[in-house]
């Protein structure tokens, strides 16, 4: 797998095999932007047809968009992403305390920052890109669990650590209030309430939930169940997912062999079986999880990781699955763009092969992460991709967008939904 060349014939062969679909796809026009992404028969559908996609992360959009002079960076990424055929973007709909905070303190919001999120949604709509909006963070970046617990402590609550985020009643009330505030927000640009806007594909409860207080996954699971029920009580039009990385917990011990040697306090199977969770997610960072291992070992792990969760989605969850984060850091020893492209090629090939198989539950992948080409150095984390400056990677991404789009039309024509 590690020797798969990004310039190989994979995309060319797939595109050739499906070439006759291109004209039909174009004649059908772009998907109706007024339609919600839904799930039927364990797959994503849009306007009654299978919806397979290629996407990206740009977590920083609202934060950057607070300054009107910097909003061109949001515009540039959506423009370039659209040109590359990318159709789904995952970004933050939270910033709790600190610089350019959306939620300054519990229940107190900065209207300037909310208008920046309004702008992000309006630009996504303009370019026909669907959004997955994340509502909180496991980590302290942009506030996260730690900020919520600190707010409760300042209010006199007896809290012991950041994992009280999952159990403390006041903290849970703060979080529920944030859910309601975002979902019922009136967009000052589109003149739509968020919960009525089909530009939003899905809500994500929290980015990469983890819990050191209970490695079994039960504590996080109880929180997910409560918050999923609450979210759906406000908005049952949009899809909902958790934000998990894919770590297996205690419910199926035999699955732990697929973890990278440890657990993080979540149970991928149990929590994604909840009725109000519409699809499952995984992340893949073998360069971090298996640091020091060979490129071949890391790539092989990623393939096993994807296969195991796709198999679970088909046989156990009976729900779609998306790899919502993957990438390769330029901070790794021996990094090169070619190695990044090789790794991404393997991920993309796996997504395509799983998506075209009998279960068809693998909806797509979201690379981490796209950035504008100017003045964004403070946001660099090693995984940044600038489409206008990375031609080989941009070509790879465009190729994946094309084959996933063509496969959507092929499945629609040959199988229906």
The catalytic site residues sit at 208, 325
Token pair for 97: 């305390």
Angle between the 391-414 and 10-17 helix axes, to the nearest 10 degrees?
A: 30
Q: DSSP code of 316?
A: I
- Measured CA to CA, the distance from residue 53 to residue 404 in angstroms comes to 6
Alpha carbon distances (Å) from 178 to 107, 185, 223, 368: 7, 10, 15, 25
Contact 384, 341 (CB under 8 A): no
Strand order across the beta sheet in which 88-92 lies: 239-241, 200-204, 130-134, 88-92, 53-57, 362-368, 321-326, 280-284
H runs (alpha helix) in 97-208: 111-126, 144-154, 169-183
Number of C-beta neighbours around residue 160 at 10 A: 11
Evaluate the CA torsion angle 79, 85, 91, 93 in order and state its sign. Answer: positive
Evaluate the CA torsion angle 156, 162, 164, 166 in order and state its sign. Answer: positive
The DSSP code sequence of 209-240 is: ---SS-TTSHHHHHHHHHHHHHHHHH-SSSEE
- Measured CA to CA, the distance from residue 122 to residue 38 in angstroms comes to 21
| Strands 43-46 and 49-50, sheet pairing | antiparallel
């Amino acid at each position: 797998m590690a020797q798969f060349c990004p310039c190989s014939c994979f995309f060319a062969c797939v595109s050739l095999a499906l070439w006759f679909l291109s004209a039909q796809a174009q004649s059908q026009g772009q998907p109706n932007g007024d339609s919600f992404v839904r799930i039927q028969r364990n797959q994503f559908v849009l306007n009654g047809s299978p919806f397979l996609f290629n996407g990206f992360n740009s977590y920083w959009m609202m934060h950057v968009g607070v300054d009107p002079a910097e909003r061109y960076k949001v515009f540039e990424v959506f423009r370039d992403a659209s040109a590359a055929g990318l159709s789904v973007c995952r970004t933050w709909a939270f910033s709790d305390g600190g610089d350019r905070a959306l939620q300054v303190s519990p229940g107190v919001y900065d209207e300037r920052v909310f208008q920046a999120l309004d702008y992000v949604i309006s630009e996504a709509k303009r370019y026909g890109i669907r959004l997955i909006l994340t509502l909180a963070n496991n980590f302290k970046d942009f506030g996260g669990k730690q900020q919520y617990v600190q707010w409760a402590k300042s209010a006199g609550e007896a809290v012991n650590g950041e994992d009280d985020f999952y159990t403390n009643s006041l903290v849970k009330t703060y979080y529920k209030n944030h859910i309601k505030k975002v979902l019922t927000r009136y967009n000052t640009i589109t003149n739509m309430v968020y919960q009525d806007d089909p530009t939003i594909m899905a809500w994500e409860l929290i980015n990469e939930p983890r819990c050191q207080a209970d490695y079994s996954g039960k504590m996080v699971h109880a929180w997910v169940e409560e918050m999923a029920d609450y979210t759906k009580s406000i908005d049952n039009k949009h899809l909902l997912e958790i934000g998990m990385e894919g770590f297996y917990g205690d419910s199926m011990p035999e699955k732990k062999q697929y973890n990278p040697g440890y657990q993080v306090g979540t149970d991928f199977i149990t929590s994604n079986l909840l009725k109000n969770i519409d699809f499952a997610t995984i992340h893949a960072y073998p360069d971090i999880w298996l640091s020091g291992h060979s490129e071949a070992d890391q790539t092989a792990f990623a393939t096993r990781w994807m296969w195991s969760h796709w198999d679970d989605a088909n046989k156990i969850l009976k729900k779609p699955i998306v790899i919502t984060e993957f990438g390769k850091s330029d901070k790794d020893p021996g990094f090169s763009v070619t190695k990044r492209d090789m790794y991404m090629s393997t991920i993309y090939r796996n997504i395509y092969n799983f998506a075209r198989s009998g279960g068809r539950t693998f909806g797509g992948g979201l690379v981490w992460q796209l950035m504008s080409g100017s003045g964004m150095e403070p946001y660099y984390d090693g995984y940044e991709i600038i489409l206008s400056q990375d031609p080989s990677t941009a070509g790879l991404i465009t190729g994946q967008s094309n084959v996933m789009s063509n496969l959507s039309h092929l499945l629609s024509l040959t199988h229906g939904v």
